[in-house]
Amino acid sequence: GPSGDPDSLERLRRIGESSSRILRFTRDLVAYARPSSEVPVQVAIHNVIEQALAFCEHVIAEHGAKVERGFAESLPPVRGMPEQLAQVFVNLFTNACHAMPTSGGWLLVSSVLAADGRVTVLVEDNGHGIASEHSSSIFTPFFTTKGDGRGTGLGLSIVRNIMDNHGAEIRVERGAQGGARFVLTFPSAG
């Protein structure tokens, strides 16, 4: 019967995989294209980060990752749209988890107040890192290094879009442990 047919099972598995890929792609595309109805407010960036960490809890747990925080004592608020900013961190945290080793993975989120009054947030992991020749391409739509069909290639371009909308900057560099370190710089709300 069909239940014992390995070919049918394999076909079903592939259909399942394709449909979840299409679902992810659609969701990313919608997030990429949707103009936000949010209005900019004064945002405590640490709250946004905590929200994103809470949202990513299952992914973080699934990868057995350890989260470390290195938050600056008192940061001025940044001006922005909290939901969009949370989306930025959710994308970065999710990517970090996907890049991590199967055990002993860690994610370090730290913040610092720059001399010019701007707020800098660092998101660093001990994953496989990003090849230097890819460091500018990773923010372009549809570019992905995830070969297994897991990545839509929109995550980081959504991040770049949101950052641009906020007059904020993002770049990636090699972390201390060879993983990826994302450097996000926000103008102060003042």
Contacts of residue 50, Cβ cutoff 8 Å, sequence gap at least 6: none
- Torsion, CA 92, CA 52, CA 66, CA 171, rounded to 10: 30
First to last CA, the chain: 70
Q: Minimal CA–CA distance to 149: which of 3, 21, 10? A: 21
CA distance 160 to 172: 11
Q: Minimal CA–CA distance to 96: which of 121, 65, 50? A: 65
Contact 177, 69 (CB under 8 A): no
User: In 3-state terms, what secondary structure has residue 168?
Assistant: coil
Letter string b/e over residues 81-97, b meaning 16 or more CB atoms within 10 A of that residue's CB: bbebbbbbbbbbbbbbb
Per-residue pLDDT of the chain (190 residues; tens, 9 = 90+): 555 677 888 888 888 777 777 677 666 666 655 656 678 889 999 999 999 999 999 889 988 999 999 999 989 999 998 988 999 999 999 989 988 888 889 999 999 998 888 999 999 999 888 776 666 777 776 656 555 555 555 678 888 888 998 999 999 888 888 899 999 999 877 6
